[in-house]
């Protein structure tokens, strides 16, 4: 089993395979119901997380994973620190297991604990999920007028051209009331018709 970290084409194999435990929360919730009591409600799958603790060797050890290990602990330390500061996700790969997923570095601590020159570290990782945003287009709304509506609104449509004949006993007020529903509009109607006064038998264009 090997533990690899990759970032934008760079690959880094941890020189000493650490012990690890990957936590996969399910976010279940407990609720108390009056007639049933406490029940456990199934939640949605949470993000995986794990902490890797080990050290980067400064010299040869019998338990090193391979012969091509770089015996410079700060080579590994600087690379992981730079990846953490980039704020970008990296990929965690643990061979011979199904674990191969992107993670964010939540925290990274390192330092020497003895006189060997080895650098001990603790690397906290959490799963990173990419979200693809798609542009939302609202659906087109088509409105139709039913036959009953046409009949109901037909009486509200003004005629395009019509003449109203001035009666013998019509007044400016009565014409305004008859044509527009408001007698105050009589003077404006008379002015628009080109008449200076009411003449019985004369037509006013509506």
Q: At 24, which CATH number?
A: 2.40.30
d(CA 188, CA 25): 79
Q: Is residue 63 part of a domain?
A: yes
Are residue 120 and residue 169 in the same domain, yes or no? no
Q: Is residue 25 part of a domain?
A: yes
Are residue 78 and residue 165 in the same domain, yes or no? no
CATH of the domain at 176: 3.10.350
d(CA 158, CA 180): 11
Task: Give pTM, 2 decimals.
Answer: 0.58
| Residue 155: per-residue pLDDT | 53
pLDDT band at 56 (very low <50, low <70, confident <90, very high): very high
Are residue 84 and residue 180 in the same domain, yes or no? no
Distance of CA 188 to the CA centre of its chain: 58
Residues in Cβ contact with 82 at an 8 Å cutoff, skipping those fewer than 6 apart: none
d(CA 153, CA 91): 67
Q: How many other β-carbons are positioned within 10 Å of the β-carbon of residue 90?
A: 20
pLDDT at 66 over 80: no
Q: Is residue 70 part of a domain?
A: yes
Q: Is residue 66 part of a domain?
A: yes
d(CA 123, CA 110): 9
Are residue 20 and residue 108 in the same domain, yes or no? yes
119 strand-pairing partners: 56
Give the helix/strand (H/E) hosting 91: strand 90-94
pLDDT band at 206 (very low <50, low <70, confident <90, very high): low
Are residue 70 and residue 9 in the same domain, yes or no? yes
Q: What digits encode the pLDDT tens for the residues 106-161?
A: 999 999 988 889 999 999 999 999 887 777 777 777 666 566 655 555 555 444 45
The structural domain count of the chain equals 2
Are residue 121 and residue 164 in the same domain, yes or no? no
User: Domain range for residue 12?
Assistant: 3-127
pLDDT band at 25 (very low <50, low <70, confident <90, very high): confident
- Taking residues 51-55, report their average pLDDT: 93
| Residue 203: per-residue pLDDT | 72
| Residue 136: per-residue pLDDT | 72
DSSP state of 96: T
Q: State the distance between the two ends of the chain, measured CA to CA, in whole angstroms.
A: 94
pLDDT at 78 over 80: yes
d(CA 107, CA 51): 9
- Total residue length of the chain: 206
Are residue 20 and residue 107 in the same domain, yes or no? yes
pLDDT at 169 over 90: no
Q: Is residue 149 part of a domain?
A: no
Are residue 8 and residue 79 in the same domain, yes or no? yes
Q: Is residue 93 part of a domain?
A: yes
Q: Is residue 132 part of a domain?
A: no
Mean pLDDT, the chain, rounded, equals 83
Q: Contact, 21 vs 97, CB < 8 A?
A: no
Are residue 120 and residue 164 in the same domain, yes or no? no
pLDDT band at 69 (very low <50, low <70, confident <90, very high): confident
- Taking residues 14-23, report their average pLDDT: 87
d(CA 14, CA 65): 9
pLDDT at 101 over 90: yes
């Amino acid at each position: 089993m090997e533990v690899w970290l990759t970032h934008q084409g760079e690959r880094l194999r941890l020189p000493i395979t650490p012990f690890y435990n990957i936590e996969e929360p399910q976010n279940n919730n407990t609720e108390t119901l009056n007639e049933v009591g406490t029940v456990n409600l199934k939640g949605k799958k949470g993000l995986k997380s794990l902490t890797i603790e080990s050290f980067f060797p400064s010299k040869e050890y019998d338990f090193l994973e391979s012969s091509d290990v770089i015996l410079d602990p700060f080579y590994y330390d600087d690379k992981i620190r730079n990846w953490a500061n980039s704020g970008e996700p990296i990929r965690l790969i643990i061979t011979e297991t199904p674990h191969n997923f992107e993670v964010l570095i939540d925290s990274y601590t390192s330092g020497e604990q003895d006189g060997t020159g080895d650098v001990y570290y603790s690397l906290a990782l959490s799963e990173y999920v990419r979200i693809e945003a798609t542009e939302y287009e609202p659906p087109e709304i088509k409105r139709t007028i039913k036959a009953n509506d046409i009949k109901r609104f037909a009486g509200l449509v003004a005629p395009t051209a019509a003449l109203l004949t001035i009666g013998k006993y019509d007044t400016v007020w009565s014409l305004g009331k008859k044509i527009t529903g408001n007698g105050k509009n009589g003077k404006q109607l008379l002015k628009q018709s080109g008449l200076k006064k009411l003449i019985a038998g004369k037509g006013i264009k509506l």
